[in-house]
Amino acid sequence: MLTEAKAVVTVFEDNNPGLTLIISPVRDLQRQVDLWCKNKTVKQAAARLIQDARAKLAESNFLASPTAASVSDFRSYLKTYLVDPEPSSAAPGTSDHGQQHAVDFVVKEKGGRTLADTETATIRTSWHNTGFDKALKTATEEHSCCTGSRHTRLAGSAAEAVRAVALHLAEGPAQSGPASRAHAQPATRLTRYSNSNSSAPADETRSKVRARACLIDHPNMLAAVSADGRTLTLIVRNAERSASKGFTFDLTALPTVGAMAEAHRTSRTEDLISLPALSIQDWSFTAMVPAYSVTTFVVPMP
């Protein structure tokens, strides 16, 4: 990871004279604990969880003395509980930054001031509005193109692509690609985005939709941006036999997002059925994925 990050820095410096990228150091356990304890979203989520858990335990089927059945019910409740707000810091000991599976970049003038840092609250002003997000993306893509096998092209009609991937995910666990690893916290982050068109020749007898794959930090998910750069498709597999899973999708790696995300699901009894659209707020949306299903989300990028 560190070698890859340093290579991206070199490309970024070549493309942006006078600027450099600072790579975040390995996040030790004490730093992880400090970030967790000081994080406002952690405190808010914990307070809400306690409140909701108490309300759940006040229901009539939970007696003063726990039984095996009530303990099982409460365990299922906790496993499927949708954490809100989504903690923006990983639980101590599980941080990808502490295991060198992820790094943060800071844009600086060479020998000078910091221009874009790692504060979540300033992403729009320091990264999106200045164009540093696109500059970093370009450096990552150029390095990826040179090293090969960083992006996978998906060809065929949109429906065929979705069905093919859905079948692949339903039949077995997804393969974790480079820098792809599930965070312990429920948030799922799009870690690399590309809207470049495929360089493959167009099919003369059949119009095809081409897309570029993205890196997403979860082994049971795939993401791809359409060739025209106007939609992102996320495909999520839940192989659990009985437990639903809740996810919050962080879309801050995208240049733009629309207001609503389409949703479609395939399961033992469903074949790519349409679901109610999901609201996108503050560059993220939240969804519950039922057990033993594959759900497809389509995010507009106007």
Q: What is the mean pLDDT of residues 65-84?
A: 86
Confidence check: pLDDT of 202 > 80: no
* Vertex 88 angle, CA 82 and 93, to 5°: 95
d(CA 162, CA 168): 10
Residue 292: how many CB atoms within 10 A of its CB? 16
Query: What pLDDT band is residue 46 in, cutting at 50, 70 and 90?
Result: very high
d(CA 151, CA 227): 13
CATH of 153-300, one of 3.40.190.10, 3.90.1170.40, 3.30.70.100, 2.60.40.1180: 2.60.40.1180
pTM score, whole prediction: 0.42
* Beta-carbon contacts of residue 241 (< 8 Å; ≥ 6 apart): 291, 292
d(CA 8, CA 10): 5
Task: For 222-231, write each residue's pLDDT tens digit.
Answer: 888 887 888 9
Query: What pLDDT band is residue 10 in, cutting at 50, 70 and 90?
Result: very high
| Pairwise pLDDT comparison (170 vs 278), residue with the higher score | 278
* Vertex 179 angle, CA 176 and 184, to 5°: 75
The token pair at 67 is 């039984």
Looking at residue 198, its pLDDT comes to: 37
Preceding omega of 300 cis (within 30 degrees of 0): no
Looking at residue 215, its pLDDT comes to: 58
d(CA 58, CA 72): 16
Largest Cα–Cα separation, the chain: 71
Looking at residue 169, its pLDDT comes to: 37
Looking at residue 130, its pLDDT comes to: 92
Q: What is the mean pLDDT of residues 244-258?
A: 87
Strands (E), the chain: 19-23, 105-109, 114-116, 153-154, 187-192, 211-216, 221-226, 231-238, 245-250, 260-267, 273-279, 284-289, 293-300
Domain ranges of the chain: 2-29+91-147, 40-80, 153-300
Confidence check: pLDDT of 149 > 60: no
